[in-house]
Structure 1
């Protein structure tokens, strides 16, 4: 194992807004990479946190779109609409969206190397919209590193 020399530690914080489409997986990697370049990120850790309870973040394959479609279908099987939930004040997709967020997560930590997210060849950062209608979603980004 070779340790990375990081120099002085600094941090940066911002919020980005993504206009989502209904039941869709949105690749947000380019927006995040642009921000990392703007702040002059080097080596460190990026934390991304989505500020909503009915959408989520994930790192997933970016080569074959059928993977993302299959993941959405699998989440629908795990938390189907109309399953007799008590909570549904915002419609039949409300509680299933909360369950899907709980399963997939509202935050994620990603190493940053050379100013970019340290993804493998076929990985990207995605915002998953679980609701049946798109809306603006806000992601808070926090960078800690050199």
Structure 2
């Protein structure tokens, strides 16, 4: 699924509760994260829930990620991020305006400040991986 398709899907829902359920369903659709990645090395700091975010080996210059969480809603939010960032170049990742995507989906108005902070901690983790990939090339 592309980010545009994701946004279109969110626009089908009038009620926040339906969007909330959709986010949870997105999380359920994530492939299981291997146990070897459930370590502090991949744990995202700044989240109330436990979240693991893993940059995966990928072909060419595109980056891919995997994620898991002990919270259904946070796992769904991770799925949103993977849709926005996976299979993109590091430069595309750094250029992605996630605030605008977040607003179009309507999540900016319906997440608690703590969840929002955790969400953007995941974003910063992904961007740090992109910066590291660029630095490794230079």
Give the TM-score normalised by the residue count of structure 2: 0.29
Structure with the bigger percentage of helix: 2
Structure possessing the higher radius of gyration over alpha carbons:
1
Pick the structure with more strand per residue: 1
Q: Which has the higher contact order (CA 8 A, sep 6+)?
A: 1
TM-score calculated relative to the size of structure 1: 0.28
